[in-house]
Amino acid sequence: LVEAGGTRFLVDAGLSPAVLRERAAPLGIALDRLDGVVLTHAHSDHASFADACAFAFGAPLFLTESTQRGLRLKRSPPTRVFGPRSAFTIGAIDVRPCPVPHDAPQVALVFEEDGRRAALVTDLGSVPPPLVAHLAGCGAVLVESNYDPELLRIGPYPPSIQARVAGARGHLSNRQCAELLARLDRGVREIVLVHVSENNNSPMLARATAEAALAGRTQTRLRVAAPADPLRIEVPRAPHQIRLPF
Protein backbone atom coordinates (compact mmCIF):
# COMPACT_ATOMS: atom_id res chain seq x y z
CA LEU A 1 0.00 0.00 0.00
CA VAL A 2 1.44 3.37 -1.00
CA GLU A 3 0.03 6.33 0.90
CA ALA A 4 0.92 10.03 0.70
CA GLY A 5 -0.80 13.39 0.45
CA GLY A 6 -4.27 11.90 0.95
CA THR A 7 -3.83 9.38 -1.86
CA ARG A 8 -3.71 5.61 -1.25
CA PHE A 9 -3.21 2.83 -3.74
CA LEU A 10 -2.25 -0.81 -3.75
CA VAL A 11 0.73 -2.09 -5.71
CA ASP A 12 0.16 -5.63 -6.91
CA ALA A 13 -2.68 -7.89 -5.91
CA GLY A 14 -1.49 -11.42 -5.20
CA LEU A 15 -3.59 -11.65 -2.03
CA SER A 16 -7.36 -11.53 -1.65
CA PRO A 17 -9.04 -8.34 -0.35
CA ALA A 18 -9.93 -10.23 2.88
CA VAL A 19 -6.30 -11.23 3.53
CA LEU A 20 -5.08 -7.71 2.69
CA ARG A 21 -7.56 -6.22 5.17
CA GLU A 22 -6.34 -8.69 7.81
CA ARG A 23 -2.70 -7.80 7.17
CA ALA A 24 -3.38 -4.05 7.20
CA ALA A 25 -5.28 -4.09 10.50
CA PRO A 26 -2.27 -4.46 12.86
CA LEU A 27 -0.81 -1.32 11.27
CA GLY A 28 -3.98 0.57 12.12
CA ILE A 29 -5.01 0.77 8.48
CA ALA A 30 -8.62 0.13 7.52
CA LEU A 31 -8.66 -0.78 3.85
CA ASP A 32 -11.81 0.58 2.29
CA ARG A 33 -11.75 2.73 -0.81
CA LEU A 34 -8.48 3.10 -2.67
CA ASP A 35 -7.43 5.38 -5.52
CA GLY A 36 -5.95 2.57 -7.58
CA VAL A 37 -4.54 -0.90 -7.89
CA VAL A 38 -1.23 -0.75 -9.78
CA LEU A 39 0.18 -3.94 -11.28
CA THR A 40 3.90 -4.45 -11.93
CA HIS A 41 3.31 -7.56 -14.05
CA ALA A 42 0.89 -10.41 -14.73
CA HIS A 43 2.40 -13.26 -12.65
CA SER A 44 -0.11 -14.80 -10.29
CA ASP A 45 1.77 -13.91 -7.08
CA HIS A 46 1.28 -10.25 -8.11
CA ALA A 47 -1.95 -10.22 -10.06
CA SER A 48 -4.28 -13.13 -9.34
CA PHE A 49 -6.64 -10.94 -7.27
CA ALA A 50 -6.35 -7.85 -9.51
CA ASP A 51 -10.03 -7.78 -10.44
CA ALA A 52 -11.20 -8.80 -6.95
CA CYS A 53 -9.13 -6.00 -5.37
CA ALA A 54 -10.21 -3.41 -7.93
CA PHE A 55 -13.88 -4.16 -7.22
CA ALA A 56 -13.47 -4.57 -3.44
CA PHE A 57 -11.67 -1.24 -3.08
CA GLY A 58 -13.61 0.64 -5.78
CA ALA A 59 -10.35 1.38 -7.57
CA PRO A 60 -9.28 1.41 -11.22
CA LEU A 61 -6.55 -0.98 -12.31
CA PHE A 62 -3.33 0.67 -13.55
CA LEU A 63 -1.27 -1.61 -15.79
CA THR A 64 0.77 -1.78 -18.98
CA GLU A 65 -0.70 -3.06 -22.22
CA SER A 66 1.54 -6.17 -22.04
CA THR A 67 0.37 -6.93 -18.50
CA GLN A 68 -3.24 -6.45 -19.59
CA ARG A 69 -2.70 -9.04 -22.35
CA GLY A 70 -1.17 -11.49 -19.86
CA LEU A 71 -4.03 -11.29 -17.33
CA ARG A 72 -6.91 -13.72 -17.09
CA LEU A 73 -9.58 -11.72 -15.28
CA LYS A 74 -12.99 -13.03 -14.35
CA ARG A 75 -14.48 -9.54 -14.32
CA SER A 76 -13.30 -6.35 -16.03
CA PRO A 77 -12.78 -3.39 -13.71
CA PRO A 78 -12.12 0.10 -15.08
CA THR A 79 -8.49 0.20 -16.28
CA ARG A 80 -5.87 2.88 -16.95
CA VAL A 81 -3.10 1.71 -19.26
CA PHE A 82 0.35 3.23 -18.74
CA GLY A 83 3.47 2.94 -20.91
CA PRO A 84 6.40 1.04 -19.35
CA ARG A 85 8.54 4.17 -19.64
CA SER A 86 5.84 6.83 -19.13
CA ALA A 87 5.26 8.61 -15.85
CA PHE A 88 1.69 8.93 -14.63
CA THR A 89 -0.10 10.39 -11.65
CA ILE A 90 -2.54 8.92 -9.15
CA GLY A 91 -3.96 11.72 -7.01
CA ALA A 92 -1.06 13.37 -5.16
CA ILE A 93 1.51 10.73 -6.13
CA ASP A 94 3.63 10.63 -9.27
CA VAL A 95 4.54 7.14 -10.48
CA ARG A 96 7.54 6.50 -12.72
CA PRO A 97 7.93 3.02 -14.25
CA CYS A 98 11.20 1.57 -15.57
CA PRO A 99 11.14 -1.72 -17.54
CA VAL A 100 13.20 -4.54 -16.01
CA PRO A 101 14.06 -7.97 -17.49
CA HIS A 102 11.75 -10.75 -16.26
CA ASP A 103 9.89 -13.63 -17.90
CA ALA A 104 6.75 -11.48 -18.03
CA PRO A 105 6.85 -7.79 -19.06
CA GLN A 106 7.72 -6.10 -15.77
CA VAL A 107 8.38 -2.61 -14.40
CA ALA A 108 10.19 -1.22 -11.38
CA LEU A 109 8.26 1.72 -9.91
CA VAL A 110 9.32 4.99 -8.28
CA PHE A 111 6.68 6.89 -6.28
CA GLU A 112 7.01 10.58 -5.49
CA GLU A 113 4.96 13.00 -3.44
CA ASP A 114 6.10 16.45 -2.33
CA GLY A 115 9.80 15.68 -2.71
CA ARG A 116 9.73 12.27 -1.02
CA ARG A 117 10.57 9.28 -3.19
CA ALA A 118 10.34 5.54 -2.71
CA ALA A 119 10.90 2.64 -5.10
CA LEU A 120 9.72 -0.93 -5.53
CA VAL A 121 12.16 -3.09 -7.50
CA THR A 122 11.16 -6.73 -7.71
CA ASP A 123 11.00 -9.65 -10.13
CA LEU A 124 14.00 -8.95 -12.33
CA GLY A 125 16.73 -11.32 -13.51
CA SER A 126 19.37 -8.65 -13.93
CA VAL A 127 19.81 -4.92 -13.35
CA PRO A 128 19.32 -2.96 -16.58
CA PRO A 129 21.72 0.00 -17.00
CA PRO A 130 19.07 2.76 -16.66
CA LEU A 131 17.74 1.45 -13.33
CA VAL A 132 20.33 2.96 -10.97
CA ALA A 133 19.75 6.49 -12.32
CA HIS A 134 16.00 5.85 -12.15
CA LEU A 135 16.33 5.25 -8.39
CA ALA A 136 18.22 8.52 -7.76
CA GLY A 137 16.91 10.54 -4.85
CA CYS A 138 14.88 7.73 -3.28
CA GLY A 139 14.70 7.85 0.50
CA ALA A 140 13.38 4.28 0.65
CA VAL A 141 14.00 1.36 -1.70
CA LEU A 142 12.25 -2.00 -1.54
CA VAL A 143 14.31 -4.43 -3.56
CA GLU A 144 14.11 -8.12 -4.32
CA SER A 145 16.78 -10.41 -2.80
CA ASN A 146 15.23 -13.61 -4.05
CA TYR A 147 17.65 -16.52 -3.83
CA ASP A 148 20.99 -17.84 -2.73
CA PRO A 149 22.55 -19.83 -5.65
CA GLU A 150 23.65 -22.73 -3.43
CA LEU A 151 20.27 -23.03 -1.66
CA LEU A 152 18.58 -22.86 -5.07
CA ARG A 153 20.84 -25.66 -6.36
CA ILE A 154 20.10 -28.01 -3.44
CA GLY A 155 16.48 -26.82 -3.07
CA PRO A 156 13.16 -28.41 -4.11
CA TYR A 157 12.84 -26.87 -7.60
CA PRO A 158 13.41 -29.02 -10.73
CA PRO A 159 16.38 -28.00 -12.93
CA SER A 160 14.17 -26.18 -15.47
CA ILE A 161 12.67 -23.93 -12.78
CA GLN A 162 16.10 -23.42 -11.19
CA ALA A 163 17.39 -22.23 -14.57
CA ARG A 164 14.40 -19.91 -14.88
CA VAL A 165 14.93 -18.35 -11.44
CA ALA A 166 18.67 -17.86 -11.95
CA GLY A 167 18.34 -16.73 -15.59
CA ALA A 168 18.72 -13.19 -16.90
CA ARG A 169 14.90 -12.89 -16.97
CA GLY A 170 14.30 -14.55 -13.60
CA HIS A 171 15.03 -13.12 -10.17
CA LEU A 172 17.84 -11.26 -8.40
CA SER A 173 20.17 -13.35 -6.24
CA ASN A 174 21.37 -11.99 -2.92
CA ARG A 175 24.67 -11.07 -4.59
CA GLN A 176 22.98 -9.24 -7.51
CA CYS A 177 20.79 -7.38 -5.04
CA ALA A 178 23.86 -6.38 -2.99
CA GLU A 179 25.61 -5.13 -6.12
CA LEU A 180 22.61 -2.91 -6.87
CA LEU A 181 22.49 -1.63 -3.27
CA ALA A 182 26.17 -0.66 -3.42
CA ARG A 183 25.38 1.57 -6.42
CA LEU A 184 22.48 3.44 -4.82
CA ASP A 185 22.71 7.08 -3.69
CA ARG A 186 24.10 7.51 -0.23
CA GLY A 187 20.89 9.41 0.56
CA VAL A 188 18.89 6.18 0.80
CA ARG A 189 17.77 5.86 4.42
CA GLU A 190 15.48 2.80 4.31
CA ILE A 191 16.24 -0.41 2.42
CA VAL A 192 13.86 -3.34 2.65
CA LEU A 193 14.68 -6.71 1.09
CA VAL A 194 11.53 -8.21 -0.37
CA HIS A 195 10.44 -11.28 -2.37
CA VAL A 196 12.93 -13.35 -0.35
CA SER A 197 12.26 -16.95 -1.38
CA GLU A 198 11.11 -19.29 1.38
CA ASN A 199 12.49 -22.27 -0.58
CA ASN A 200 15.79 -21.01 -1.95
CA ASN A 201 17.01 -18.41 0.52
CA SER A 202 17.18 -17.48 4.17
CA PRO A 203 16.50 -14.03 5.63
CA MET A 204 19.85 -14.21 7.46
CA LEU A 205 21.82 -14.91 4.29
CA ALA A 206 20.00 -12.18 2.38
CA ARG A 207 20.65 -9.69 5.18
CA ALA A 208 24.34 -10.62 5.55
CA THR A 209 24.99 -10.21 1.83
CA ALA A 210 23.25 -6.84 1.71
CA GLU A 211 24.95 -5.66 4.91
CA ALA A 212 28.38 -6.33 3.44
CA ALA A 213 27.49 -4.17 0.43
CA LEU A 214 26.22 -1.36 2.66
CA ALA A 215 29.21 -1.34 5.03
CA GLY A 216 29.97 2.17 6.20
CA ARG A 217 26.51 3.53 5.46
CA THR A 218 25.63 4.19 9.08
CA GLN A 219 22.56 6.26 8.21
CA THR A 220 20.89 3.53 6.18
CA ARG A 221 18.53 1.11 7.92
CA LEU A 222 18.28 -2.37 6.40
CA ARG A 223 15.28 -4.63 7.01
CA VAL A 224 14.14 -7.94 5.56
CA ALA A 225 10.40 -8.24 4.89
CA ALA A 226 8.81 -11.52 5.97
CA PRO A 227 6.21 -12.83 3.51
CA ALA A 228 3.22 -12.63 5.88
CA ASP A 229 4.19 -9.89 8.34
CA PRO A 230 3.03 -6.34 7.70
CA LEU A 231 5.76 -3.72 7.75
CA ARG A 232 5.45 0.05 7.85
CA ILE A 233 8.06 2.08 6.00
CA GLU A 234 8.18 5.83 6.54
CA VAL A 235 9.77 7.46 3.52
CA PRO A 236 12.27 10.10 4.56
CA ARG A 237 13.20 13.02 2.39
CA ALA A 238 16.58 12.15 0.90
CA PRO A 239 19.19 14.87 1.53
CA HIS A 240 20.86 16.56 -1.42
CA GLN A 241 18.08 15.30 -3.59
CA ILE A 242 18.63 15.70 -7.28
CA ARG A 243 15.52 16.88 -9.07
CA LEU A 244 15.06 14.85 -12.20
CA PRO A 245 13.00 16.21 -15.06
CA PHE A 246 9.64 14.56 -14.59
Residue ranges binding Zn ion (CB under 5 A):
43, 45, 123
CB within 8 Å of 123: residues ≥ 6 apart: 40, 41, 43, 46, 100, 102, 104, 106, 144, 171, 195
Size of the chain in residues: 246
Name the residue type at position 102: H
Q: Is 102 helix (H, G, I), strand (E, B) or coil?
A: coil
> For Zn ion, which is the closer residue by CB, 123 or 190?
123
Helical H segments across 115-155, by residue range: 130-134, 149-154
Q: Least distance from C-beta 177 to Zn ion, angstroms?
A: 14
| Strand (E) or helix (H) holding 5 | none
Of the pair 55, 147, the CB lying nearest Zn ion is at 147
- For Zn ion, which is the closer residue by CB, 166 or 238? 166
CB of 183 to Zn ion, least distance (A): 23
Q: What are phi and psi of 130, to 5 degrees?
A: -75, -10
CB of 211 to Zn ion, least distance (A): 24
Q: Is 106 or 209 the residue whose CB approaches Zn ion more closely?
A: 106
Nearest distance from C-beta of residue 212 to Zn ion, angstroms? 25
- Give the nearest distance from C-beta 82 to Zn ion in angstroms: 18
Q: Tell me the C-alpha distance between 41 and 53, whole Å.
A: 15
CB closer to Zn ion out of 45 and 234: 45
- Cβ atoms of 203 and 196 closer than 8 Å: yes
